């Protein structure tokens, strides 16, 4: 019987998890463009010299996100390797394009556009992961300077690599340039989505249709009844009684 209750609890937990979704910005209108910025829940060392390695790390994290409507696609690392700056790699260079608003997965605005993104200050801490949770890490690999340009200690540099601190939004530049950990440390990355379009709902897309908790409760009662019936039959057989003896 304990197994039945345990399974039911797990299924009920799955319902709440499946119904979770990325929260669309409430201050935008349908059709408005925006981007999402995350701190990956997964970590990596900073030995790789190719930007493709870090892009893949971000994409793998997003692909495993349980959030409904979490936008898949060409996510990129917000970081710099030798010869590649974060702001050019992600098409967020404000001298080329003023850009679009940038948000966390919980719908909190981080920056009005690319100008603010690389101003040194954000409107909130960029510390929400692709799982929709606050990151357990505060130090994040960037390989960059404050304005998104390649640092002397870029990703893949031998020795130390530039990092940011995802809990710092209001201290100048600290969120993207705050220290130089040794490259063998396991740290998360910042990832940014392609430009997305607001669909008009509160989550994108609407949560998938799954059984409601009441349905699972009925299933649990039925499973419990079947379990009890089978136990009674086994007990009767072991005592030499016919399964039909109690009818």
Using the predicted structure, report yes or no on whether residue 82 has a pLDDT greater than 90: yes
pLDDT at 21: 61
pLDDT at 23: 80
Question: How long, in residues, is the chain?
Answer: 247
pLDDT at 119: 97
Higher pLDDT, 231 or 115: 115
What is the arithmetic mean of pLDDT over 20-40?
86
Residue 140's nearest CA partner among 68, 105, 173, 188 is: 188
What is the arithmetic mean of pLDDT over 137-164?
97
pLDDT band at residue 69 under the 50/70/90 scheme: low
pLDDT at 209: 30
Q: What is the pLDDT of residues 182-206, one digit of tens each?
A: 999 999 999 999 998 887 766 553 3
Give the burial string for 36-74 (b: 16+ CB within 10 Å, else e): bbbbbbebbebebeebebbbebbbebbeebebbbbbeee
* Cis peptide bond N-terminal to 205, omega within 30: yes
Mean residue pLDDT of the chain comes to 80
Residue 205's nearest CA partner among 10, 13, 71, 61 is: 71
Cβ contacts of residue 132 below 8 Å, gap of 6+? 20, 22, 65, 67, 105, 106
Question: Which pTM was predicted?
Answer: 0.74
Higher pLDDT, 72 or 223: 72
pLDDT band at residue 245 under the 50/70/90 scheme: very low
Alpha helices in the chain (DSSP H): 2-19, 51-63, 86-89, 114-117, 213-238
Using the predicted structure, report yes or no on whether residue 207 has a pLDDT greater than 50: no
Using the predicted structure, report yes or no on whether residue 87 has a pLDDT greater than 90: yes
pLDDT at 24: 77
């Amino acid at each position: 019987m304990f197994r039945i209750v345990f399974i039911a609890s797990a299924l009920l937990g799955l319902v709440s998890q499946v119904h979770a979704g990325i929260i669309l910005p409430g201050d935008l209108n349908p059709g408005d463009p925006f981007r999402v910025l995350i701190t990956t829940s997964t970590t990596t060392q900073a030995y790789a010299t190719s930007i493709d390695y870090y892009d893949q790390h971000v994409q793998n994290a997003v692909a495993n996100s349980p959030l409904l409507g979490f936008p898949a696609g060409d996510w990129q690392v917000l970081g710099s390797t030798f010869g590649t700056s974060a702001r050019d790699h992600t098409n967020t260079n404000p001298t080329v394009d003023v850009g679009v608003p940038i948000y966390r997965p919980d719908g909190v605005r981080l920056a009005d556009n690319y100008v603010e993104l690389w101003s040194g200050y954000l409107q909130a801490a960029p510390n929400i992961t692709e799982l929709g949770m606050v990151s357990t890490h505060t130090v994040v690999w960037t390989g960059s300077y404050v304005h998104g340009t390649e640092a002397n200690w870029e990703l893949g540099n031998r020795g130390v690599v530039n990092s940011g601190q995802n809990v710092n939004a209001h201290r100048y530049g600290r969120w993207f340039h705050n220290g130089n950990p040794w490259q063998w440390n396991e740290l998360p990355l910042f990832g940014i989505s392609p430009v997305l379009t607001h669909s008009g709902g509160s989550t994108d897309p609407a949560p998938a249709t799954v059984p409601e908790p009441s349905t699972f409760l009925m299933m649990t009662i039925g499973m419990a009844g079947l379990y009890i019936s089978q136990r009674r039959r086994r007990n009767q057989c072991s005592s030499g009684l016919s399964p039909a003896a109690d009818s």
